[in-house]
Amino acid sequence: MNRFCCWLVDLLSRPLAPDERDAVRGDFAESGESAGQALRGLIGLVVRRQIALWRDWRPWMAPVGLVAPVALVLSQSSSGPSGALWIGWQLRTIWTHGVRYEAGLSPTDDIVTLFCAVLLPIVWAGSGGFVLGFLSRRNAWVHPALLFPLLWLFGTLLRALLPGRLHAALFWLLPPVVLILIPFLWGVHLGVRGVALQVGRTAWLAGAIAILTLVMQVEDGRSRLAFAAWSSGGALDGRLVWIPRLLPFAAILWQFGFIFTTTRFKESDT
C-alpha cells in the first residue's frame, strides 16, 4: 500500500473502536493485502458496524435532543433570536444616529437582554449536542441530525463566496457559528467521550438556564409592551410582564433530566 492508501485506510477506520482499528490494520499489514482489497474489506466492516449501531434505540432518540434546543433557539418562541435582533437594532440605531432607540426600555433592559441572548443559545446548543453525542456515540459524527447544521453552514459559506456578499454573509454567519454551532459541536464531542457531569453541577446549570429563560421571556414581554405603548403615543410604565411560554422549560426538563439520569447511572456503575 502506498502512503495515500495508508492515509485513506487510517481515515476510514476511525469510526471503529481503537482496539479493533489496531487489529484490522495489523491484519492488513501482516497479510500484505493490496490497497483495493484492504479498502474494500475495511469499508465492508465499517458499514456492518454502523448498521449494528443503528439497531439500537438510542441513535433514533438523539434527534429529539437536538431538535428541541435548536428549534427553540431558532424559533421566535425562544427568546434568543428576538433578543439578539433587538440588540442588533439598538446597536444599529446608536451607530446611525448616535443615540439609543427610546421605546421606554432602560439601558439595564438592554444589558440584561444582551447577556441572556448571548448565553442562552450557547447553553441550549451545548446541551443539545451533548445529548446527541451521548446517545449516538460512535455514529454521532455521521448522524443525519448533525448534517443539518453542517449543511446550513456549508450553504452559508457558499453564499458568502458570491461576489459582493462576503461582508453581509459573514455578518449574519458569525453570531450563529459562535453562539450555536461551536457550542453544539463541543457538546457532541463531550457526549461522544461520555463525559459525566456531577449531579450538583447539572442541577445548578439547569436552574441557571431556567432562570435565564424566565428573565429573557420577561424582557421579551417588556419590549413588546414598550413598542405597543410607543406606537400609541404612550410610555412603558415600568411593570414586569411575563407571558408564559412553557415549551423551553419542558425542553430544559427533558435535556437535563436525561443528563442527570446518565450521570446517576455512571456513578452507580463506578
Partner 1 sequence: MLGEFEYLLLTATAHLGADAYGAAMRQDMEATTGRRCSIGALYTTLDRLEAKGFVKTWMGDPTPQRGGRPKRMVRVTAKGIQAAADFYGAVTRASRGVAWEAHRAGVRP
Would you tell me which residues interact with partner 1 (CB under 8 A)?
19-20, 22-31, 40-42, 44-49, 52
Cβ 15 to partner 1 shortest distance, Å: 13
Nearer to partner 1, 18 or 164 (CB): 18
Q: Are 19 and 8 in contact (CB under 8 A)?
A: no
Nearer to partner 1, 19 or 237 (CB): 19
Cβ 37 to partner 1 shortest distance, Å: 9
Nearer to partner 1, 18 or 233 (CB): 18
Nearer to partner 1, 41 or 175 (CB): 41
At residue 216's C-alpha, the angle toward residues 210 and 221, to 5°, is: 130
Nearer to partner 1, 45 or 205 (CB): 45
CA-based nearest residue to 180, from 119, 244, 115, 236? 119
Handedness of CA 245, 246, 249, 254 (dihedral sign): negative
Cβ 35 to partner 1 shortest distance, Å: 14
Nearer to partner 1, 26 or 234 (CB): 26
Question: In whole angstroms, how far apart are CA 95 and each of 2, 121, 176?
Answer: 58, 25, 22
CA-based nearest residue to 248, from 207, 211, 213? 213
Distance between CA atoms of residues 137 and 28, nearest Å = 26
Scan for cell 456578499, then name that residue: 165
The C-alpha cell at 96 is 446611525
Alpha helices in 196-246 (DSSP H): 199-231
Scan for cell 446549570, then name that residue: 205
Cβ 27 to partner 1 shortest distance, Å: 4
Cβ 4 to partner 1 shortest distance, Å: 17
Distance between CA atoms of residues 120 and 248, nearest Å = 11
Cβ 17 to partner 1 shortest distance, Å: 10
